[in-house]
Amino acid sequence: MDYSKQLIEKFHNKTARVAVMGMGYVGLPFATVFAEAGFTVTGVDPVKDKMDRVNRGESYIMDVPAEKVAGLVKKGKLKGTTDYSVLANIDAVAICVPTPLRQTGDPDLSFIVSAAEGLAPYVHAGMVVVLESSTYPGTTRELMLPILTEKSHLKVGEELFVAFSPERVDPGRTDWTTKNTPKVIGGMTEKCTEVAAAWYGQALDTVVPVSSTEVAEMAKLLENTFRMINIGFVNELALMCDRLGVDVWEVIDAAATKPFGFMKFQPGPGLGGHCIPIDPLYLSWKLRSLNYTARFIELASEINTSMPRFAVTRVQDALNDHEKALKGSNVLVLGAAYKPDIDDLRESPSIDVIRLLQQKGAKVSYHDPYIPHIKQDSWEISSVTDLMAAVKAADCVVIVTNHKVYDYVTILKEAKLIVDTRNALGKLGFKNPKVVRL
Ligand SMILES: NC(=O)c1ccc[n+]([C@@H]2O[C@H](COP(=O)([O-])OP(=O)(O)OC[C@H]3O[C@@H](n4cnc5c(N)ncnc54)[C@H](O)[C@@H]3O)[C@@H](O)[C@H]2O)c1
């Protein structure tokens, strides 16, 4: 039996049954795109609340409108379950589980392992499995494949098709989405790439096949490491400009007028999110096991992780210039999400900024329209409810996340002092005696 031909046919006539394991920031948008393309999609996630919400036609991801989920659920194109046994009747599985770091800074692959172990009893001839989670080169072949084939003994590239395709979704972005962002895909064998590309090609605008899972894995790490290193460099530029007494934002804007050979990156209070601060460390970890030190990554990581402390020093100096000590001052942090206009707090530098300010004795409050509450271990804090009253009461307002909904003109008018770590005020903040720019 030619399983690849059979599968490709099912993709072309949209009769292939699709499952998405891991229905989070990546998985839910992915599932809706494939359901909209005409496939019947089942989300599989151990978090019952999420699956109940999908089945009720609700959305818990800002980028996915609830009406879209409701419409697809109503048409029978999308459902959620916590029961892995549904995978027995599935033709195509995408795995979108988290890949965080352990406390030690090493990769935590336990979610990939648990998803693969959950899937393993149900893998069957004529199935394609694509790993979407960002990870180091070799994960699909060395870690996931053995779990899928240990008991099934299926022949890869003939009976079972396995590939890696890095997810590039940028939450909050509307121009480039899951559907229209080109999708790199690399299979364990040529047939695996062909089958997986045939599947993705039915729902995504552009599929970019590459020759192996390792190339696809490494391409994702190149993209994110490129960003992380350039942000590290521009953060160091901010440190250098501080010593030189030069406004870093003006320097960057001036350099960015060059129409070629320059790409604009912006400094800030530190890296955040589930990807940029973490993925490069997967690469450096893997390289350490091969006796190689990824020097650019280590240096950029060191600079990036020092930025929250630098931002706090700016607050301390700014208050000092206003004849106030940080200790005992009311400091309002504006924005907690790791980037503008989203509700994602993961790895956000705002947490470090708030904690460092508290450690130095400041009375800290924060406001974020999308994050009403922050809870970390035994520590928690709630967003202030009356933003303008808090702005007026603060000795210093620190803009950590430049959400678009903020009325910066009024905030500037009402605040006594602002430390703007994101250039949220733009020209309003330039040479303004009330404003210190990072
Ligand atoms: N969020 C992003 O912007 C983004 C962008 C590109 C790539 N990625 C990568 O995509 C992957 C997923 O990230 P995310 O942001 O969607 O994470 P997430 O935490 O939002 O979602 C992951 C989901 O997987 C579920 N899960 C955990 N173990 C499972 C298992 N054994 N079986 C089935 N489901 C399981 C969790 O309950 C959760 O709902 C990560 O590797 C991440 O680095 C994320």
pLDDT for res 171: 83
97 CA distance to ligand 1 middle (Å): 4
Q: What is the pLDDT of residue 414?
A: 98
Amino acid type, 303:
I
Arithmetic mean of pLDDT, 206-230: 98
pLDDT of 329 above 90: yes
> What's the first-to-final CA gap in the chain, in angstroms?
64
pLDDT band at 129 (very low <50, low <70, confident <90, very high): very high
Q: Whose CA is nearest to atom 32 of ligand 1?
A: 115
Choice from 28, 97, 140 to test ligand 1 binding pocket (greatest atom count within 8 A of CB):
97
Predicted pLDDT at 378: 87
Ligand 1, atom 43, residue with closest C-alpha: 134
Residue from 87, 94, 92, 119 nearest 8 by CA: 92
Ligand 1 atom nearest to CA at 50 = 39
Instruction: Find out whether 134 and 279 touch, Cβ atoms under 8 Å.
Output: yes
Ligand 1, atom 36: closest residue by C-alpha: 22
Q: Tell which one of 26, 53, 62, 84 to mutate to probe ligand 1, the residue whose CB is within 8 A of the most ligand atoms.
A: 26
Q: Do 111 and 98 form a contact (C-beta atoms < 8 A)?
A: yes
Kindly give the interhelix angle for 66-74 and 48-55, rounded to the nearest 10 degrees. 70
Give the position, in ligand 1's atom list, of the atom nearest the Cα of 171.
3
Cα 410 to middle of ligand 1, angstroms? 38
Question: By alpha-carbon position, which residue is closest to atom 31 of ligand 1?
Answer: 115
Residue 69 to residue 23: CA distance in whole angstroms:
12
pLDDT in tens, 162-203: 999 999 988 888 999 999 999 999 999 999 999 999 999 999
Domains of the chain, CATH where assigned: 3-211 (3.40.50.720), 224-437 (3.40.50.720)
| CA of 420 relative to ligand 1 center, distance in Å | 32
> Which of 192, 241, 275, 396 is an active site residue?
275
Q: Is 102 left (phi over 0), alpha (psi -120 to 50) or beta?
A: beta
State in Å: Cα 136 to ligand 1 middle: 16
Which range has the worst mean pLDDT, 35-44, 192-201, 373-382, 419-428?
373-382
- Rounded-to-integer distance, Cα 183 and Cα 30, Å: 12
- Write the residue with the smallest CA distance to atom 34 of ligand 1: 22
Does residue 86 register a pLDDT over 90?
A: yes
| Atom 20 (ligand 1) nearest CA | 24
In order of 322, 365, 392, 395, the CA distances from 331 in angstroms are 14, 6, 11, 6
Both tokens assigned to 146: 């053995």
At residue 208, the 3 state secondary structure works out as: strand
Q: Which atom of ligand 1 is nearest to the CA of 274?
A: 43
Angle, vertex CA 80, rays to CA 74 and CA 85, nearest 5: 130
- Please tell me the predicted confidence (pLDDT) of residue 376: 87
SS3 state at 394: coil
Tokens matching residue 250? 């003006």
Alpha-carbon span 10 to 33, nearest angstrom:
17
99 Cα nearest atom in ligand 1: 41
pLDDT at site 167: 96
- Across 326-349, average pLDDT: 96
In this structure, the residue with its CA closest to atom 13 of ligand 1 is 98
298 within 8 A of 416, measured Cβ to Cβ: no
Average pLDDT over residues 217-230: 97
Give mean pLDDT, residues 271-279: 92
Whole-angstrom Cα distance, residue 218 to residue 135?
Answer: 8
The minimum-distance atom of ligand 1 relative to the CA of 61 is: 20
Residue 275 annotated in active site: yes
Q: What integer best gives the mean pLDDT of the chain? A: 97
Q: What is the pLDDT of residue 377?
A: 84
Residues with CB under 6 A from ligand 1: 21-27, 44-47, 50, 96-99, 111, 114-115, 118, 132-134, 167, 169, 171, 274-275
In angstroms, what is the span from residue 96 Cα to ligand 1's centroid?
5
Among 59, 62, 96, 221, residue to substitute to test ligand 1 (most atoms within 8 Å of Cβ): 96
For ligand 1, the distance from its centroid to the CA atom of residue 87, given in whole angstroms, is 18
How close is the Cα of 260 to the center of ligand 1, in Å? 36
pLDDT at 172: 83
In angstroms, what is the span from residue 113 Cα to ligand 1's centroid? 13
The mean per-residue pLDDT over the stretch 69-96 comes to 98
pLDDT reading at 39 higher than 90 = yes
Query: Alpha-carbon distance 328 to 316, whole Å?
Result: 11
Q: What angle do CA 266, 271, 275 make, to 5 degrees?
A: 110
- According to the model, what pLDDT value does residue 105 have? 85
| Side-chain-facing half-sphere of 428: CA atoms under 13 Å | 14
